[in-house]
């Protein structure tokens, strides 16, 4: 009998792998050609853009479309693996050295006690499209507070009035339904005016349908039972016909046919070159770790390399804190103490919840022939999204939660992308060994963390590992905010709608956190226990920013994104956003890139 079961399993696995191969073959047929890809670039261009992530892709499109200037887009990676198109499969690209920079934080003092050496892995996309090619594709349109904060730090250049022309409802968008509890009244409605539910007109958005997802439906209904005012919604993804559709697909791909844009891949920008007047005149690049050569910029150089590598590149080029540069024998071009400071990131606290119905994603379903056929035929099902079925926030508060409908977590995959040690993983995901387990992970998060870290350099070369120190949970305000988020998640699990599904929360049995406490599914543990567990197992949300913030005065870049202390050099990426936005930042980054193009073209 055991032999027969093994034969059946192997037969099913072979069929599954065959169909996966057919999917990849199907995608390969549609694989993009890049006609403006160059091997030998010209000696000079008007603009040089470094980095082709969300900001770089959008900026390259905007500048090449709206001007006749010559533009070079430099990317360290190459075209992404075909798996990036299949949403649920793209997580396999995290931790892959061809598609991920594979950064790690330095050992953390106030968090990450359940991680190897108390270090968290920070996946960052390497290749055309950047991190938007390996992320979870969640759409967040921003709330008014996010835009008000941009104006607070950046002045009129970043007022909502200046930005709103870049914000619009997409053509194919249906008004979103959200469920609220406001001042004791429960209702579901379209987004109220105070929430700017706005999105790129060009980018398609696919929403989890509550009618088809009973778990999402229960999540929305849970708002009726909560003690606080909330806003819950079904998750929305940047997908089209079941495939990833990021800013790369919407903006950069059409730009392949712009004759004034050239793209140089597999090329590292080693440093920015300056003349005696502190004018950025070119970029020193290398394709083979040797034989560097310079490409000149007649107008400006635009850094779009992200919250980690932008401050690193500035520092190895001679812009940053004087003592740090001199300690690595770097010639000081401009003293700028704010480069690399103000680093922030969202933090997620995972809590596993079991349910007694077949409503979630697990390994058995992923290997199911029916699931593969559904994806091939309809572009729907478990392969068509990242299994985050719902998003919720407490109104007028800085915390919320995500409903990650993954019933079985593969230990190797999750540990490879997080750096959790084996013991902690098993405490947080107690049923990881059961490939047919039904459940979800309640991810509690603080939208506006106060803790601030920094990006430092470990040497004078761009090839030296950057030192990433987010200083998670240094601020006690963040601890309180995260505990409030956990309590919101607990309330959701205890709601009537979730209890009908048999929802049970499984508190992590961390020995160092359990004293005399008797942990029960339906009881909220003490704050002392929750804080201890938080400091052991909370994970990065992969939303770093702020490390080259813009501002009117004391900041790394000014309100027009020019790097202070030099000329003809700007930063356009997540590092310029001075405070965290209230959700996934991808959308805001593209808005900033469009606004940057507007500023650049209006000044020339």
Residues tagged active-site: 543
- Which residue bears the tokens 């690193």? 312
Q: Evaluate whether 176 touches 191 at the Cβ level (below 8 Å).
A: yes
Q: Cα–chain-centroid distance for residue 216?
A: 22
Q: What share of the chain is helix, strand, coil (3-state, %, to 5)?
A: 35, 25, 45
Give 316-382 as a DSSP string: HTTEE-HHHHHHTTPPPSEE-TTTT-SBB--EEEEEEEE-SSS-SB-HHHHT-HHHHHHHHHHS-ST
3-state secondary structure of 88: helix
Identify the sign of the CA torsion 348, 407, 427, 496. positive
Distance between CA atoms of residues 285 and 264, nearest Å: 10
- Identify the H or E element spanning 594: helix 586-603
Closest CA to 548 of 270, 267, 305: 305
Cβ partners under 8 Å of residue 578, min gap 6: 149, 150, 153, 154, 342, 546, 549, 550, 551, 555
Distance between CA atoms of residues 569 and 305, nearest Å: 13
Distance between CA atoms of residues 384 and 239, nearest Å: 8
Closest CA to 227 of 259, 195, 181: 181
Beta-bridge partners for 186: 181
Distance between CA atoms of residues 366 and 565, nearest Å: 53
- What the block records as the tokens of 332 is 């000081």
């Amino acid at each position: 009998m055991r032999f027969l079961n093994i034969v059946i399993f192997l037969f099913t696995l072979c069929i599954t792998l065959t169909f996966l191969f057919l999917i990849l073959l199907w995608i390969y047929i549609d694989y993009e050609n890049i006609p403006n890809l160059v091997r030998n670039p010209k000696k000079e261009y008007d603009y040089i853009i470094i980095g082709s992530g969300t900001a770089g892709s959008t900026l390259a499109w905007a500048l090449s479309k709206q001007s006749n200037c010559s533009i070079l887009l430099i990317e360290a990676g190459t075209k992404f693996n075909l798996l990036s198109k299949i949403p649920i499969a793209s997580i396999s690209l995290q931790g892959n050295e061809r598609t991920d920079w594979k950064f790690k934080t330095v050992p953390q003092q106030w968090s990450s006690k359940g991680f190897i050496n108390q270090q968290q892995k920070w996946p960052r996309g390497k290749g055309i499209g950047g991190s938007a090619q390996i992320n979870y594709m969640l759409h967040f349109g921003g709330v008014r507070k996010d835009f008000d904060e941009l104006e607070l730090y950046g002045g009129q250049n970043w007022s909502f009035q200046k930005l709103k022309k870049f914000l619009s409802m997409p053509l194919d968008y249906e008004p979103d339904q959200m469920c609220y509890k406001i001042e004791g009244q429960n209702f579901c409605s379209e987004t109220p005016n105070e929430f700017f539910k706005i999105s790129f007109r060009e980018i398609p958005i696919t929403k989890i349908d509550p009618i088809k997802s009973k778990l999402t439906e229960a999540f929305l209904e849970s708002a009726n039972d909560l003690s606080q005012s909330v806003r819950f919604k079904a998750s929305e993804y940047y997908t089209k016909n079941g495939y990833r559709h990021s800013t790369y697909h919407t903006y950069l791909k059409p730009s392949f046919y712009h004759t004034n844009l050239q793209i140089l891949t597999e090329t590292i920008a080693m440093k920015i070159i300056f003349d005696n007047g502190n004018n950025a005149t070119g970029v020193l690049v290398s394709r083979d770790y040797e034989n560097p050569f310079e490409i000149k910029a007649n107008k400006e150089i635009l850094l779009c390399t992200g919250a980690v590598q932008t401050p690193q590149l500035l520092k190895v080029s001679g812009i940053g804190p004087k003592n740090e540069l001199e300690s690595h024998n770097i010639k000081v071009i401009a003293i700028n103490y704010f480069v690399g400071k103000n680093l922030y990131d969202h933090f997620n606290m995972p809590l596993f919840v079991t349910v007694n119905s077949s409503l979630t994603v697990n390994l058995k379903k992923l290997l199911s022939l029916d699931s593969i056929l559904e994806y091939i035929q309809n572009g729907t099902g478990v392969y068509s999204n990242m299994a985050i079925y719902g998003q919720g926030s407490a109104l007028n508060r800085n915390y919320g939660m995500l409903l990650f409908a993954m019933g079985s977590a593969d230990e190797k995959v999750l540990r490879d992308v997080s750096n959790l040690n084996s013991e902690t993983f098993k405490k947080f995901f107690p049923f990881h060994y059961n490939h047919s387990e039904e459940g979800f992970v309640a991810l509690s998060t603080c939208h506006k963390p106060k803790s601030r870290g920094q990006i430092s350099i470990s040497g004078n070369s761009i090839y030296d590992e950057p030192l990433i120190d987010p200083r998670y949970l240094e601020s006690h305000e963040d601890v309180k905010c995260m505990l409030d988020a956990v309590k919101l998640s607990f309330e959701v699990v205890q709601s009537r709608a979730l209890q009908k599904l048999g929802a049970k929360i499984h508190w992590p049995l961390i020995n160092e956190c359990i004293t005399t406490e008797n942990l029960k599914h339906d009881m909220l543990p003490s704050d002392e226990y929750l804080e201890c567990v938080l400091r052991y197992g909370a994970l990065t949300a992969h939303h770093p920013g702020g490390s080259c913030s813009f501002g009117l005065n004391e900041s790394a870049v000014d309100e027009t994104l020019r790097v202070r202390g030099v000329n003809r050099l700007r930063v356009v990426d997540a590092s310029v956003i001075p405070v965290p936005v209230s959700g996934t930042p991808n959308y805001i980054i593209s808005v900033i890139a469009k606004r940057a193009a507007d500023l650049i073209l209006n000044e020339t």
